Amino acid sequence: SSRRQNQPQQYYGITSPISLAPPTDMDCIHTQNLVEAMKPFGVFEDEEEIKHRLVVLSKLNNLVNEWISEVGESKNLPPSVIASVGGKTLTFGSFRLGVHTKGADIDAVCIAPMHVERSDFFQSFFEKLNHQEGIKNLRAVEDAYVPVVKFEFDGIEIDLVFARLPVQTVSDNLDLGDDSLLRSLDIRCIRSLNGCRVTDEILNLVPNKENFCLTLRAIKLWAKRRGIYSNMLGFLGGVSWAMLVARTCQLFPNALASTLVNKFFLVFSKWEWPIPVLLKQPEESNLNLPVWDPRVNPSDRYHVMPIITPAYPQQNSAYNVSTSTRAIMVEEFKHGLAVTDEILHGKSDWSKLFEPLNFFQKYKHYIVLTASSSTKEHHLKWIGLVESKIRVLVANLERNEFITIAHVKPQCFPGNQEQSGYVSMWFLGIMFRKVENAERVNVDLTHVIQAFTDIVYRQAANLNLLKEGMKIGAAHVKRKHLHYFLPAETLQKRKKQSRPDESQNSIGLPCKRTSDGSCLNSSGAHVSRTPCNSPLNKISKHHVSTAEPERHAVCHTSNSREMTSNLAVPSTSKGLSLPGIDPKIQAAVTLSTSGPPSGCTIPGHTSVAQLRPPFVQGQHELSGTPNAERQNTVTLRRHLSLTYRRSHLPTSEELLLPKVDEGLPGHDSAFKGGGSPEVRRRPTEKCVFGGKSMLTPITNTSRSQGLSSKELPDLSSPVPMNSIRVIKRSVKLTLN
């Protein structure tokens, strides 16, 4: 990066800068060291790879123009009109920002004139792509919140959305920043154009694009390494990270990337949430589209981390963030500030900033979610649905009075292969609240887990996705028992390899990168292929048959110093198996599985012994790293307090009102939908499992017609399942 010696001619953002100090020679050295530290992670493409992307985009643009002309001919447009209608393919997201990594996909929008219908895009253009040489893995998601066609073109993954403009000709100098283009536009087209409009606005609102891009590359890499890069799971996605970095650049317009990374952590470790982050003041419009405005929308007042997109219609890109995920990210900001302070003072190097979080040593209690299915094709769809709803589980766990943090690791792990099936696992770390003057506290998470599984099965049924063999499992697991689920190298206390290639996934397989930076292995899914010498298979094969009415726990000794001797070993009974887990492991976990699909046998009821783990003493900072005191803290806080007009915020009286239990939307888009569902009471019948009587909820099948919408239905929506019985199973633990 070169220095920016000249002061900008204008101020960027809604406040004046904090500092206009020019970079020093040492800043240049630190920035060059930062670049070198990032190179081993594959964040930079070489010239050949960049040229290849441009060639692919040129081919795609030619295909779009050919297709638009063909549609005009099929609709009997005059030849003179067909020759001039035009069409465009524009990129947005990380590629448009110039921060894409090796192997990353490209987000693009196909812009067509008014004679081309959306149905044409998903029919005739889809067929044109299907017959095009070099295109693989073609699939259409027409009913998605933002409808998209996904495919691989000459080795480059592309997500292509569609927008139809109310014009006869798409000119070469089309300005997507013109709000009047949105007038009378279909809402799906507005959503499709929103990506380009937001990306372009961000680039127009930073004082130095080169410094912005390098800083954003560093922050995105850091966020992925620390496990907080996932819009779907309640952290932040690429657009949100870009806006936070852009705001930092506005406050320090002359700083180089090394300084900006440090200032990023300084600013947002001290940001007074829920004051929103804005790159410019929201503009009024007479188009009457829904925008983020807590003065008008009461639900907007309860967004915990608002980051507002700069293009109309303004939306909160961090809508999915919850109390837990915000707390986790703020602690990571504090940790990043401490580390970068050390780096800039010569006490450490940049590799320390990119050291991964050791998630599996962070908490004493975990919840393991498993999703299993019988075929690879079904499994890809099944894990996508389950993962999209995990943030609902996190939100519900947060509402438990004993839980302060519910931390999901944004990575899917392969489970032990269940016969010929496929298994994937997710892990949630749980931190419990300290309860004064209580010797023992019973925590029952049964309802929370059951509500989550109900939502997933209901959504699957309404999408006609539910197939035989699809299962969800849940278990409470203590840290000392994680080795039953994961290999030792994943659980190791200290990461020895600090610079792995990001093109490798967690189990060392080549992976394809998705738009949010996550990886899939070469087969396209996190499917089980557990080696014969894995910890799962090293467990003794001698176990009591699952047909027995009781299974007694076997206490496995360990050399770990962290394990305490006064822990009671949980037991399971009635023969219920967690998908993908060796039966022997169940002596160490508390199980809950739910909702077999139609045509599957319902396993027996599981009775779970209470756990007696040591109590987590107090609510501590997640990282334990103290904040570095800064001389400009007062100045910073003054800027933070001025960053938004108070008229946009709820009054103090409004904030004292009881918070409505609002849920998270079913989609990760800026445009959002209604609140979260609650589990309604169902008719029950008394059943006997293993000599025990219990009430079994029966799904109401009196209404069998599915929803036309793909949105998450409320709980009164029809559930077209053939009398599937969803059996509640206990997930309980006792805190001493």
Question: With 70 as the cut, is the pLDDT of residue 557 above it?
Answer: no
Residues 303-328 have a mean pLDDT of 95
Residue whose C-alpha is closest to residue 17's, from 177, 208, 201: 208
Cα–Cα–Cα angle for 103, 109, 111, nearest 5°? Answer: 150
Question: With 70 as the cut, is the pLDDT of residue 492 above it?
Answer: yes
| Single-letter residue type at 510 | P
Residues 608-626 have a mean pLDDT of 34
Q: Write down the pLDDT at residue 420.
A: 58
pLDDT-based confidence at residue 336 (cuts at 50, 70, 90) = very high
Chain centroid to CA 390: how far? 9
Residues 507-521 have a mean pLDDT of 37
Three-class DSSP labels, 625-636: CCCCCCCCHHHH
pLDDT-based confidence at residue 443 (cuts at 50, 70, 90) = confident
Residues 641-647 have a mean pLDDT of 44
Q: How far apart are CA 631 and CA 625, in angstroms?
A: 19
Query: Which H or E element spans position 264?
Result: helix 257-269
Q: Write down the pLDDT at residue 710.
A: 34
Considering the candidates 12, 27, 88, 159, report the single residue annotated as catalytic.
159
Sole residue written with tokens 């994937």: 424
Angle between helices 257-269 and 25-38 (to 10 degrees): 80
Q: Which of 96-100, 304-308, 665-669 has the lowest mean pLDDT?
A: 665-669
Query: Which H or E element spans position 370?
Result: strand 365-373
The verdict on whether 229 is a catalytic residue reads: yes
Question: With 70 as the cut, is the pLDDT of residue 690 above it?
Answer: no
Considering the candidates 1, 200, 220, 574, report the single residue annotated as catalytic.
220
User: How deeply is 49 buried, as exposed, middle or buried, from its count of CB atoms within 10 A (0-12, 13-18, 19+)?
Assistant: middle
**What does DSSP say about strands 156-164 and 148-153: parallel, antiparallel, or unpaired?**
antiparallel
> In terms of pTM, does the model score above 0.75?
no
Query: Which H or E element spans position 477?
Result: strand 471-478
Q: How far apart are CA 281 and CA 301, in angstroms?
A: 18
- For 462-477, how does the pLDDT look when each residue is reduced to its tens digit (9 = 90+)? 888 898 889 998 989 9
Q: How far apart are CA 335 and CA 362, in angstroms?
A: 14
Say if residues 219 and 212 touch (Cβ distance below 8 Å).
Answer: no
Considering the candidates 12, 27, 88, 94, report the single residue annotated as catalytic.
94
Q: Write down the pLDDT at residue 488.
A: 87
- For 518-551, how does the pLDDT look when each residue is reduced to its tens digit (9 = 90+)? 443 333 334 443 333 333 333 233 332 332 333 3
Q: How far apart are CA 534 and CA 547, in angstroms?
A: 26
**What does DSSP say about strands 156-164 and 106-112: parallel, antiparallel, or unpaired?**
parallel
Considering the candidates 12, 145, 229, 319, report the single residue annotated as catalytic.
229
In sequence order, the β-bridge partners of residue 615 are: none
Q: Write down the pLDDT at residue 434.
A: 81
In sequence order, the β-bridge partners of residue 159 are: 107, 150
- Highest-confidence range of 265-279, 465-479, 572-586, 654-668, by mean pLDDT? 265-279
* Distance from the first to the final alpha carbon of the chain: 56
The SS3 assignment for 442 reads strand
Residues 107-126 have a mean pLDDT of 95
| Alpha carbon distances (Å) from 105 to 19, 50, 59, 199, 248 | 36, 12, 16, 16, 27
At residue 67, φ and ψ (nearest 5 deg) are: -65, -40
Considering the candidates 12, 88, 107, 607, report the single residue annotated as catalytic.
107
| Alpha carbon distances (Å) from 78 to 65, 73, 83, 170 | 16, 8, 9, 17
Q: Which domains does the chain have, with CATH numbers?
A: 47-199 (3.30.460.10), 207-352 (1.10.1410.10), 359-618+680-735 (3.30.70.590)
Question: With 80 as the cut, is the pLDDT of residue 564 above it?
Answer: no
In sequence order, the β-bridge partners of residue 431 are: 405
Q: Write down the pLDDT at residue 438.
A: 66
Cα–Cα–Cα angle for 494, 497, 498, nearest 5°? Answer: 90
Paired tokens of 216:
């954003």
- What would the DSSP string read from start to end of 674-686? -----PPP--EEE
Paired tokens of 72:
């005009």
Considering the candidates 105, 200, 341, 454, report the single residue annotated as catalytic.
105
Question: With 50 as the cut, is the pLDDT of residue 210 above it?
Answer: yes
Paired tokens of 734:
């006792």
Q: How far apart are CA 35 and CA 281, in angstroms?
A: 33
Query: Which H or E element spans position 139?
Result: strand 135-141
Of the two residues 197 and 516, the one the predictor is more confident about is: 197
Residues 551-574 have a mean pLDDT of 33
The SS3 assignment for 111 reads strand
- Greatest Cα pair distance in the chain: 85
Residues 110-131 have a mean pLDDT of 95
Q: How many CB atoms lie within 10 A of CB 224?
A: 24
- For 47-59, how does the pLDDT look when each residue is reduced to its tens digit (9 = 90+)? 999 999 999 999 9
Question: With 70 as the cut, is the pLDDT of residue 387 above it?
Answer: yes
pLDDT-based confidence at residue 735 (cuts at 50, 70, 90) = low
587 contacts: CB under 8 Å, gap ≥ 6:
551, 552, 553, 554, 556, 569, 570, 571, 572
Q: How many residues does the chain have?
A: 736
Q: Write down the pLDDT at residue 184.
A: 85
Q: In terms of DSSP H, where are the helices of 147-237?
A: 187-204, 209-225
- For 691-721, how does the pLDDT look when each residue is reduced to its tens digit (9 = 90+)? 333 333 333 333 333 333 333 333 333 333 3
Q: Write down the pLDDT at residue 288.
A: 86
The verdict on whether 220 is a catalytic residue reads: yes
Residues 309-330 have a mean pLDDT of 95
Q: Write down the pLDDT at residue 284.
A: 83
Residue whose C-alpha is closest to residue 143's, from 710, 717, 713: 710
Taking all residues of the chain, what is their mean pLDDT, rounded to a whole number? Answer: 74
Cis peptide before 274 (omega within 30 of 0): yes
Cis peptide before 313 (omega within 30 of 0): yes
159 contacts: CB under 8 Å, gap ≥ 6:
105, 106, 107, 108, 148, 149, 150, 515
Q: How far apart are CA 336 and CA 218, in angstroms?
A: 12
User: How deeply is 524 buried, as exposed, middle or buried, from its count of CB atoms within 10 A (0-12, 13-18, 19+)?
Assistant: middle
Q: How far apart are CA 288 and CA 21, in angstroms?
A: 42
Question: With 50 as the cut, is the pLDDT of residue 499 above it?
Answer: no
